Structure 1
């Protein structure tokens, strides 16, 4: 296949939907007792709703929306720490755009900018590096945020800053990894999951081997998927085929992009710059061992937590969720967004209460944007 239209071909989609319906029937699944498949990645959640796949698939199949949005799982305390750094007069604070409106306990980064903090949206950590070169009298901080997809670019920026001897550049590191929270979900006795659609962009970096514990230790299938409608439908079918055949394996539907061994250059940069944190807090999931990354001691001069004595290197602050906010339950698939008491009332895209309504990969934003989500709200 060469063109995107080929991944959206209606006849091919109809054939896949018919095959999915047959496998769901073979498994004896019904609307009252469906097959539960979790799409881990928030990009997949948006693709499912953008293309109406939730309405096209049979009622015996239920999509469970996982914690695959790095902005959404960031605890409010870390947003507060971003603002604390950004409001220092000597600081130029840089961040990707989707983190600008995520609320902390008192304000968001965009509100802090309106209050006078020098906060700038960038498209790459290289933009932050260039700001550091042009402003030697200011401390330029990059908000390092994301799963393994964005981790290599931040690592390469730190390596570059080290090579150049830049003294005024640092990273507030909030990079996190996908496999540990999946294990937490699988260990939760209240979660009912039959299989997984695995993240495509993350797997492009780390490959497929890090997911082998899922079938080996838990007997659940996982299929790494692309982001077009036919990618997702084929991946769901592959999960259902495994279930119907009594198999549990890691399969790679997105082989045109994802090598099983991952990207060796990216992996080498990650291993050089970062090490696992003993623990890291996830919104909705709590502290998860070895799920976050921190900057190694050899690059300590570029670690904003060290530079500003903040975060996990300082006293930790426990921040409670806003009253009525159910971000944690939504992110872990326990409830759907419209079951949150704040959805469409205290939490809207214009005035978000939780990160799931802000982020471009948030489940609440997907439900709001792609039809049917506002029923009972407007």
Structure 2
């Protein structure tokens, strides 16, 4: 169907209210930048999901990273979006001003290079992400093992999306359909969504990131809901295949295994975390599953599962901003609160 016809249909929709969740933060950003909400009926509500790995990382993880960064002969390597995530007593950025040894990395493979050059230092990698980035940590581990490098530790907060979507389906009954994450689906493929669609009778459609891609997916979801269908469809076929990226999945299985993980704001979700099989490289990741604290007054947990929009949090644009983030959803470029702050 022509894109203008899609827009006309969605704009004119006057059926029962429909609530769709876009799981990926990049989709949330694209929806704002392209004014998607202005092109669809007010009876079609788009809500954000737990698509930001930084946002769902528990407080205890930040505290563990800080402990390593403050330890003698240890240096923490992290991506920049982790620097301002609040821990119990402050963020990595706060602690760096108090002597914590923290360096920004642009690739996990930098840890291997640094560990080779400085064997007297233990290089601790803050490994945070979903299936999109997890294979890069597995490949880093492969390289470290092949070179016999032992002065590397990973503190992992690597999570998998399907168990989280199952949790949402079981706990948020009012969501009618899902815009599946494009980047994650490149790795896992479209097949893993099929069991969810069958079990919960909801449609799951994989989207690209351009405006026309998102509008096409919304149209498909609305049409499925009208016809009482619950199918998995892949509208991002140039990048996503049914079985996913088998090489990436194989290297993940070689170095990581599933286990329970704490999602900040959601709680414990079984088999949603990825942990190193070789515990000698692990920085105590498995002991961080009992923490789900949020700063008092922060409603990130409600934002992550779509119970409220970010601007419905009383701290939004008052006490909480990207320069002074009170909760994790305001920190990352993929966090719903940060996206709403910059675009609304």
TM-score interval (norm. to shorter)? over 0.9
2:321 to 338, 348, 351: 348
Residue 184 (structure 1) aligned with residue 167 (structure 2): yes
Residue 300 (structure 1) aligned with residue 279 (structure 2): yes
2:7 to 11, 17, 35: 17
- Equivalence for 1:8: none
- Equivalence for 2:302: 329
Partner deviation per Cα, 1:305-324 (whole Å, 9 max, x = no partner): 2xxxxx4348x664632111
How does 1:55-204 map onto structure 2 within 5 Å? 55-188=38-171, 190-204=172-186
- Equivalence for 2:312: 339
How far apart in 1 are the matches of 2:106 and 2:39?
Answer: 35
Contact 1:103 1:354 in 2 (8 A): yes
Contact 2:188 2:245 in 1 (8 A): yes
Q: Are residues 223 and 318 of structure 1, via their aligned partners in 2, closer, same or farther at CA, if it must alter by over 3 Å?
A: closer
The answer to which of 124-133 and 157-166 deviates more is 124-133
CA shift, 1:163, in A, is 0.4
Contact 1:200 1:226 in 2 (8 A): yes
Partner deviation per Cα, 1:72-125 (whole Å, 9 max, x = no partner): 011111111111111112111101111111111111111122222221111111
- For structure 1, the 5+ residue unaligned runs are 1-10, 306-310, 372-378
Partner deviation per Cα, 1:41-94 (whole Å, 9 max, x = no partner): 111111111211122211111001111110001111111111111111211110
TM-score computed with the length of structure 2 as normaliser: 0.96
How far apart in 1 are the matches of 2:341 and 2:304?
Answer: 15
2:254 to 235, 259, 272: 272
The secondary structure found in structure 2 opposite 1:154 is helix
Contact 2:262 2:292 in 1 (8 A): no
1:239 to 221, 238, 250: 221
Contact 1:12 1:230 in 2 (8 A): no
Q: Are residues 317 and 180 of structure 1, via their aligned partners in 2, closer, same or farther at CA, if it must alter by over 3 Å?
A: closer
How far apart in 2 are the matches of 1:14 and 1:121?
Answer: 45
Residue 368 (structure 1) aligned with residue 309 (structure 2): no
How far apart in 2 are the matches of 1:292 and 1:194?
Answer: 26
Aligned-residue Cα RMSD (Å) equals: 1.6
CA shift, 1:173, in A, is 1.2
- Equivalence for 1:312: 286
Q: Are residues 198 and 318 of structure 1, via their aligned partners in 2, closer, same or farther at CA, if it must alter by over 3 Å?
A: closer
- Equivalence for 2:194: 212
CA shift, 1:145, in A, is 0.6
TM-score computed with the length of structure 1 as normaliser: 0.88
Partner deviation per Cα, 1:273-331 (whole Å, 9 max, x = no partner): 11111x211111101111101101xx2222122xxxxx4348x6646321111010111
Contact 1:67 1:73 in 2 (8 A): yes
Q: Are residues 41 and 365 of structure 1, via their aligned partners in 2, closer, same or farther at CA, if it must alter by over 3 Å?
A: same
Q: Are residues 319 and 208 of structure 1, via their aligned partners in 2, closer, same or farther at CA, if it must alter by over 3 Å?
A: closer
The secondary structure found in structure 2 opposite 1:74 is coil
How far apart in 1 are the matches of 2:85 and 2:297?
Answer: 17
Segments ≥4 residues shifted beyond 6 Å:
none
How does 1:1-16 map onto structure 2 within 5 Å? 13-16=3-6
How far apart in 2 are the matches of 1:76 and 1:303?
Answer: 18
Contact 1:89 1:117 in 2 (8 A): no
Partner deviation per Cα, 1:19-42 (whole Å, 9 max, x = no partner): 3235x33xx13xxxx210000111
How does 1:218-233 map onto structure 2 within 5 Å? 218-233=200-215
Q: Are residues 160 and 342 of structure 1, via their aligned partners in 2, closer, same or farther at CA, if it must alter by over 3 Å?
A: same
- Equivalence for 2:267: 286
The secondary structure found in structure 1 opposite 2:100 is coil
